Chains A and B, each alone.
Chain A
Amino acid sequence: MFRILNKEVLAPSVIRLEIEVPDIERKAKAGQFVILRIDESGERIPLTISGFNEERGSISLVFQEVGKTTRQLASLSSEDCIADIVGPLGRPSEIENFGTVACVAGGVGAAVILPVAQALKKAGNKIITILGARNKELLILEDELCSISDEFFVTTDDGSKGHCGVCTDVLNELIAGGQGINRVVAIGPAIMMKFVCKTTEPHKIKTVVSLNSIMVDGTGMCGSCRVTVGGETKFCCVDGPEFDGHLVDFDELMNRQKIYLEEENLALKSYETRDVKRTECRCKAQKEEGER
């Protein structure tokens, strides 16, 4: 069992959990992920590590409530335990002094890019960060990212904060302005990473993306996470999760991410019914207590 040390709500339905896993913390590097299972009937889900705390022997994981498992995970609080967590998995980010690196983060991708940007900054790179979200409520980790960035831009789809539009608008401008970007790291929804790659490809700027495919074991055993990179099948769990974005078949990735949409909806529905029942029970019990 692994203990949750802290829980924070970063944005509506975006949660950060700090989990005590000294053995993983000691080994993990930026860009790697863990697989966790909440309880005996739970599924195994991959989450990329978003922070480390050496003193507390803990790692942070950020996720958005989208399905049954993330909903259940969000219902836990500090001092609760989860059954299983294994890692670090995947290859770490390539960290060296490339010169100027543009870190482009979309949505919850901000949490994944944070340790990578921190490590790149430490390695002596100039960091330009472009942080995008649908609206200002969904922007996360702004302060943390801003503090390690030499230049910092915010974009929102609805214009509620920063540039009104998408990340690639700003990236395009920076490239056109002759910023001399040596490398781009793009982490976010597959569609956003695809368009960042489309933006950088004509300029031949190496663009690294972190892929979030469906996994089971996370150790190369099942092949569920296979992606086509440069015409070859790769396993996201052991060959990635980071790949050269110009070689990734994003359309295939997005298709494969949809495999269990139907089942996920069913699981969520069944969980919510159970949840409502639980709440009803508690209300009833409290009511009875009150009457007494």
Chain B
Amino acid sequence: MKSEGNGRILGRVPAGEQLPQERILNFNEVVLGYAVEQAVAEANRCLQCKKSPCMQGCPVGVDIPSFIKLMKEGDFRGAAGKIKEKNSLPAICGRVCPQENQCEKFCTLDRKGKPIAIGRLERFAADFERNSGKISLPKKKKSVGKRIAVIGSGPAGLTCAGDLAKLGYEVTIFEALHKPGGVLAYGIPEFRLPKAVVEAEIDGLKKLGVEIKTNVVVGTSVTIDELFCEGYSAVFIGTGAGLPRFLEIPGENLNGIYSANEFLTRVNLMKSYLFPKYDTPIKKGKNVVVVGGGNVAMDSARTALRLGAKNVYLLYRRTEEEMPARAEEVQHAKEEGIKFRFLATPQKFCGVDGWVSGVECVETKLGEPDESGRRRPIIKKGSEFSLTADVVIVAIGTGANPLLLRATPGLELNRKGYVLANQNGQTSKRGVFAGGDIITGSATVILAMGAGRKAALEIDRYLSIL
């Protein structure tokens, strides 16, 4: 075990970050990533455990010890190649995976509170390869002469497409928006995931032979049954959970109240933070209230701040402990001055001349656990308070978009409207597979990728026994 003279284990090498007071004035990436020496130093902390416990925490099964070993030796491009055997989007995952709940949680050093920064190392390897301009392509099997349609170009669809291309299939991705990437393009902000990184990883898939057709809404532009008629042998549905939920409280349709989906899409996909250079407008609030406690709520709050808000309040109806957002994102949000109001929930929006002017809220306390296992918030009588707001962003989750599903006879849904599929992604409709948020409801990028990978293997199995 590497240790200092007194036998203590060395702590994680911290990655550089933009200072909070600087970064709230720009949309550039907050975490700057490792320099070469830092990456090697961090890799050198790895114990190379025989049983590789870290790997059980990775939904796509990256060979973590092997890529870290290559990094110790300074072979960063080799490390990138090793990661890409299992993960076609390493620069993305290195940035947005919740490693603290996955690989790093299983790291032997986690018991000492100092797990290897696997995410930072993954990001470094991927960035190093991309910046070197010499991007290696994973091995591709001989063409099997079959076409697969992938619906949606988010993390699930991209992974499924990449894996199938490697297995020798001709893959076409259909994307409803004008740009591929799904939530990576419209949802996650530039300061957390630069769009150039997303574009580069998608380019990698195109080089593998994956074709991407944008501006196609499967369900209206073309149906799944028509895709089969056109000669596709199997279809993968990776459309995500894109239907925004609202609070359904009075005043919610006042001007200035956004769903997080709309707010983030305007800023990230349509680049409204560059208005009027880009044509899409956005309301820049002085006093912004964000409702919700997930990563999307953090992204919305931090984006509002960067658009020039003076005060950004974040209302969450449970405590910090129950918040689904990543610890790192919460930490960053706090450093930047987001004002958290835990155990509080909005009850009504007030308006002046059709525009939102404030939020009437009430405090909550936690009762018995609900079906999600988290303690249910209960309203505290007589605890009403109000907040001034000229922009409100509702980030309380999303549901399944029914557009494709209602146009697909034979596809069974569960009672929440998500697609029913077995653990390998097989749906009730022959030849149709699904994975990611469209099955599970809102989850993470890496879980969607894991589901895309499983479905790719299942599609390969299904087509080889046909």
Flag whether B176 is at the interface (Cβ < 8 A). yes
Partner of B242, one of A44, A216, A221: A221
Contact in complex: A27, B279 (CB < 8 Å): no
Which residues of chain A from 80 to 117 have a CB within 8 Å of any chain B CB?
Answer: 83-89
* CA–CA, A258 and B186, complex, Å: 24
Q: What residues on B are CB-neighbors of A258 within 8 Å?
A: 255, 354
Interchain CB contact under 8 A, B178 and A37? yes
Q: Which residues of A contact B21 (CB under 8 A)?
A: none
B401 pairs with A220, CB closer than 8 A: yes
Question: Which residues of B have CB within 8 Å of A217?
Answer: 176-177, 265
Are the CB atoms of A222 and B261 closer together than 8 Å? yes
User: By the criterion CB–CB under 8 Å, are B217 and A86 in contact?
Assistant: yes
Kindly list chain B residues whose C-beta atoms are within 8 Å of the C-beta of A238: 401-403
Q: How far is the CA of A68 from the CA of B262 in the complex (A)?
A: 21
User: Chain A's nearest CB lies how many Å from the CB of B413?
Assistant: 16
A216 contact set on B, CB distance < 8 A: 262, 265-266, 270, 280
User: Does A147 sit within 8 A of B, measured CB to CB?
Assistant: no
Q: Which residue of A lies closest to B254 (CB)?
A: A255
On whether A86 and B178 interact (CB within 8 A), knowing A220-B401, A255-B255, A258-B255, the answer reads yes
Q: How far is the CB of A292 from chain B (nearest CB, A)?
A: 35
Whether the pair A223, B178 counts as a contact (CB closer than 8 A) is no
Q: Could you say which residues of chain A place their CB within 8 Å of the CB of B244?
A: 221-223
Interface residues of B in 257-299 (CB under 8 A from A): 258-259, 261-262, 265-266, 270-271, 275-281, 283
Bound complex: CA A88 to CA B402 (Å): 16
Query: Interface on chain B toward A: helix, strand, loop, or mixed SS?
Result: loop
Closest chain-B Cβ to A267's Cβ sits at a distance in Å of 5
Q: Separation in Å of the A273 CB from the closest CB of chain B?
A: 10
The distance from the CB of A191 to the nearest CB of chain B, in whole angstroms, is 15
Docked Cα-Cα span, A123 to B117, in Å, equals 67
Any B CB within 8 A of the CB of A155? no
Q: Jot down 10 A-B pairs with beta carbons below 8 A, ordered by A.
A: A27-B220, A37-B178, A43-B270, A68-B276, A86-B221, A222-B261, A223-B261, A258-B255, A258-B354, A260-B281
Selected contact of A267 from candidates B214, B242, B276, B354, CB within 8 Å: B276
Query: How many angstroms between the C-alpha atoms of A263 and B274 in the bound complex?
Result: 12
A144 at the interface (CB under 8 A from B): no
Give the residues from 221 to 264 in chain A that come closer than 8 angstroms, CB to CB, to chain B: 221-224, 226-228, 233, 238, 252, 255-256, 258-260, 263-264
A84:B248 contact, CB within 8 angstroms: no
Interface residues of A in 208-222 (CB under 8 A from B): 216-217, 219-222
Task: Decide: B281 and A264 in contact? CB cutoff 8 A.
Answer: yes
Q: Which residues of B contact A37 (CB under 8 A)?
A: 178
8 Å CB contacts to A: which residues of B204-250?
214-217, 220-222, 242-244, 246, 248
The answer for the CA separation of A231 and B170 in the assembled complex, in Å, is 48
Name B residues whose Cβ lies closer than 8 Å to a Cβ of A: 176-178, 186, 214-217, 220-222, 242-244, 246, 248, 252-253, 255-256, 258-259, 261-262, 265-266, 270-271, 275-281, 283, 354, 401-403
Check A222 against B220 for contact (C-beta < 8 Å): no
Rounded to whole angstroms, the CA-CA distance of A27 and B53 in the bound complex is 53
B261 touches A263 (CB 8 A): no
Q: Are A83 and B253 in contact (CB under 8 A)?
A: no
Assess whether A219 is in contact with B176, with CB atoms less than 8 Å apart. Answer: yes
Question: Which of A43, A86, A252, A263 is B176 in contact with, Cβ under 8 Å?
Answer: A86
Per the bound structure, the CA–CA distance linking A258 and B246 in Å amounts to 21
Q: In the complex, what distance in Å separates the CA atom of A3 from the CA atom of B281?
A: 27
Q: Which residues of A contact B255 (CB under 8 A)?
A: 255-256, 258-259
Which residues on the A side are within 8 Å of B270 (C-beta)? Answer: 43-44, 216
A233 to B354, CA, bound (A): 16
Which residue of A69, A83, A260 is within 8 Å of B178 (Cβ)? Answer: A83
CA distance A228 to B250 in the complex (A): 12
- Asked if A75 is an interface residue, CB under 8 A from chain B, the answer is no
Q: Which of B259, B271, B281, B403 contacts A263 (CB 8 A)?
A: B281
Q: Is the CB of A233 within 8 A of B252?
A: yes
A266 CA to B278 CA in the complex, in Å? 12
| Contact flag A223-B262 (CB < 8 Å), given A86-B215, A89-B220 | yes
Residue of B176, B253, B265 near A226 (CB, 8 A) is B253
By a CB distance below 8 angstroms, the chain A residues around B253 are 226-228, 233, 252, 256
Give the docked Cα–Cα distance between A55 and B103 (Å).
58
- In the bound complex, residues from chain A placing their C-beta under 8 Å from that of B178 are 37, 44, 83-84, 86
Q: A221-B242, A233-B248 are in contact. List 9 more A-B contacts (CB 8 A).
A: A86-B176, A88-B221, A216-B265, A216-B266, A222-B261, A255-B354, A258-B255, A259-B256, A264-B281
User: Cβ of A224 and Cβ of B217 under 8 Å apart?
Assistant: no
User: Closest CB of chain B to A47's CB: distance in Å?
Assistant: 15
Inter-chain contact A85/B262, CB cutoff 8 Å? no
A280 close to chain B: CB less than 8 A: no
Residues of B within 8 A of A275 (CB): none
Cα–Cα distance between A252 and B280 once the two chains are bound (Å): 22
B277, B280, B283, B354 interface centre (most CB from chain A within 10 Å)? B280
